[in-house]
Chains A and B, each alone.
Chain A
Amino acid sequence: MKLVKDNASEKTVGLLGKGVEVTGDIIFPDQLQVEGKVAGRLISENGTLIVGETGRVDAHVEVNVCVIHGVVNGNVNASSRVEIHKASHVTGDLATSVLVIEEGAVFNGTVGMNQHSDISLPEEIQPQDSGERIKAKGA
């Protein structure tokens, strides 16, 4: 895995290249681009995960922003945003506040509101539109 410090933004950008396979937990601070394979967990409280066209993630993902161009199998919890671009395949449940799906993407799973975007209350009602099922297969 390659780590590069972006001098302009002072952010650490990680690249997991094509042909590289990692099994286990990856915790990153700012940005990680996956072009290889990852199995396990990907965690970043404020970071952005980019799954490239050649990337395959069989993992539980907990990030701020998740941008998908490749294959993701697993649940994704992104506090700010999830983008599923064309030619990508996503199987799993999403918890986020903003979801962008492009025509041609395949998504099988449910979408729910990210729960840690607000304080959770003991008597919290279940939102009617939480768990909305959206399918975008070759739309």
Chain B
Amino acid sequence: MRKWVELSRVIKGLVTALMNLIKPRRADSNTKTEGPITLRIAGYNLILMDHDGGVVWTNEWDTGGIFDLRPHQSMWVFCKFTNHSSNETEISEYEIELVGEDGLVVERFGSSFGDSVIVMPGQSKVFSGQWRL
């Protein structure tokens, strides 16, 4: 009879220990909710490429201070390239990189042209892109 009492105590202790192990996990799974994804943006880069994928020209700008791009927000970026060289510049595709506060690229988007765009010396072209979370 005494053995049965001890055994039941051991089993009760094991069950209690198991419950204690499980409880925090349950609490964690309930409280851990993924917050809204935001992008902290400090600047952006423009990369122009020729038909071979070679980089023709790059430039970087800041956004006038760090800001958060949140869900349900759309962002348009307008980058201007002016051909200051004496030769015409052929551009087949471009990329716009969004740069975070640590200087790392956080997003990248762009476009390519069916026929290359030629920018004559002294002329300018605006390359734009839209990003949405």
A contact set with B: CB distance below 8 Å: 48, 64-65, 78-81, 83, 86, 96-104, 111, 113-114, 117-119, 121-125, 127-130, 132, 134, 136
Contacts and interface: CB of A to CB of B under 8 A. Distances in A.
B57 interface: no
Interface string B53-69: 00000000111110101
B116 interface: no
B73 interface: yes
Interface in B58-86: 61-65, 67, 69-70, 72-80, 82
Contacts, number: 87
Given A80-B62, A97-B77, A113-B78, A121 B124 contact: yes
B123 interface: yes
Size category, B interface: 20 to 34
A135 to B, nearest CB: 12
A78 B64 CA distance: 10
Interface of B is mostly: strand
Contact of A103 (B65, B67, B73, B76): B73
Contacts of A102: 70, 72-74
A77 to B, nearest CB: 13
B103 interface: no
A123 to B, nearest CB: 6
B108 interface: no
B124 A100 contact: no
Contact of B125 (A79, A103, A123, A125): A125
B1 interface: no
Given A78-B64, A80-B63, A101-B73, 14 more contacts: A65-B65, A79-B64, A80-B61, A81-B65, A96-B78, A99-B75, A100-B74, A102-B73, A102-B74, A117-B61, A117-B80, A118-B80, A119-B82, A121-B123
